[in-house]
């Protein structure tokens, strides 16, 4: 199984550098990393270029012009440019632990997508991590526990590894709370539902829309909690001016029987075909 991690970013090169350091520290190297850049300036490109020069796995930078929050569109473009069988979506302000990729690979199962969770870092701790380049990607559970005692992080329970088990499939139709900062989906399932819907612009709901349509296509939720957490660096709340519009769009989808997005992967059909040919 070929696996790709798609890391979405926008004009936060220091956070992206911390996230990329986490991928450099992974316990496995048999994956591809794609930085899905929603229109950042050259500072971000330089971070990626420096990382490419030292990375021990393939790294690519997919960019489009800055035209507002278009995370769905840049993720679709990243998917269209890879021939990976399995896609792990995450964000450029989320630092993975050293077994993040290996654990996602172990949870992968036909007919299921995996939703993971996150540990939130405080504002003060995030500033220190970025300013001092604290290697939190290598921290042990003990250090995270001490960070929790200091209120540097909101919780440590997600760091427990509960392994496999039937409990992971107890909420197959859950969609609330699942986010593309930690979501793994088979490529063939993404193609079947035409990827993310690029009609969602501005922050919010595009990930819920994807999950609902996946479930309509017969793909169920597998719980990745207590296996694949990420460490989410603090940031100011995103502009939510378009959230009511996006919520209305999601309600419309949920009241319909729609499976395929209206504005999705099929726009990049030539890229998808080339990627699939490369896999064969």
pTM, two decimals, is 0.94
pLDDT (0 to 100) of residue 134: 97
For 186-223, how does the pLDDT look when each residue is reduced to its tens digit (9 = 90+)? 999 999 999 999 999 988 899 999 999 999 999 999 99
pLDDT (0 to 100) of residue 217: 97
Alpha-carbon span 56 to 12, nearest angstrom:
23
For 36-75, how does the pLDDT look when each residue is reduced to its tens digit (9 = 90+)? 999 999 999 999 999 999 999 999 999 999 999 999 999 9
CATH number for region 3-279? 3.90.550.10
Query: Measured at the alpha carbon of residue 207, what is the angle toward residues 187 and 51, in degrees to the nearest 5?
Result: 65
Provide the H-helix boundaries in the chain. Answer: 13-24, 42-54, 71-80, 100-107, 123-132, 141-149, 187-192, 206-216, 243-254, 269-279
């Amino acid at each position: 199984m070929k696996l790709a991690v798609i890391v979405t970013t926008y004009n936060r090169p220091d956070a992206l550098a911390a996230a990329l350091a986490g991928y450099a520290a992974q316990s496995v190297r048999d994956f591809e990393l794609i930085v899905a850049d929603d229109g950042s300036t050259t500072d971000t490109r330089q971070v990626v270029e420096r990382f490419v020069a030292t990375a021990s796995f393939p790294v690519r930078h997919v960019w489009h012009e800055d035209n507002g929050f278009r995370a769905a569109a840049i993720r679709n473009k990243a998917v269209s440019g890879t021939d990976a069988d399995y896609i792990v979506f995450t964000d450029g302000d989320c630092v993975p632990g050293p077994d993040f990729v290996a654990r996602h690979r172990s949870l992968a199962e036909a007919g299921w997508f995996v939703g993971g969770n996150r540990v939130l870092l405080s504002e003060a701790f995030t500033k220190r991590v970025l300013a001092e380049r604290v290697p939190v990607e290598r921290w042990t559970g003990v250090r995270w526990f001490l960070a929790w005692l200091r209120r540097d992080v909101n919780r440590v329970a997600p760091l427990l590894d509960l392994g496999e088990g039937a409990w992971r499939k107890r909420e197959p139709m859950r969609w609330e709370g699942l986010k593309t900062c930690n979501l793994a989906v088979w490529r063939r399932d993404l193609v079947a539902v035409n990827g993310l819907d690029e009609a969602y612009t501005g922050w919010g709901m595009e990930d819920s829309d994807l999950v609902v349509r996946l479930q309509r296509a017969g793909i169920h939720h597998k719980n990745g909690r207590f296996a694949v957490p990420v460490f989410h660096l603090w940031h100011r709340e995103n502009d939510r001016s378009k959230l009511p519009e996006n919520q209305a769009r999601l309600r419309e989808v949920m009241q319909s029987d729609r499976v395929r997005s209206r504005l999705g992967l099929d726009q990049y059909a030539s890229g998808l075909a080339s990627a699939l040919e490369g896999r064969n």
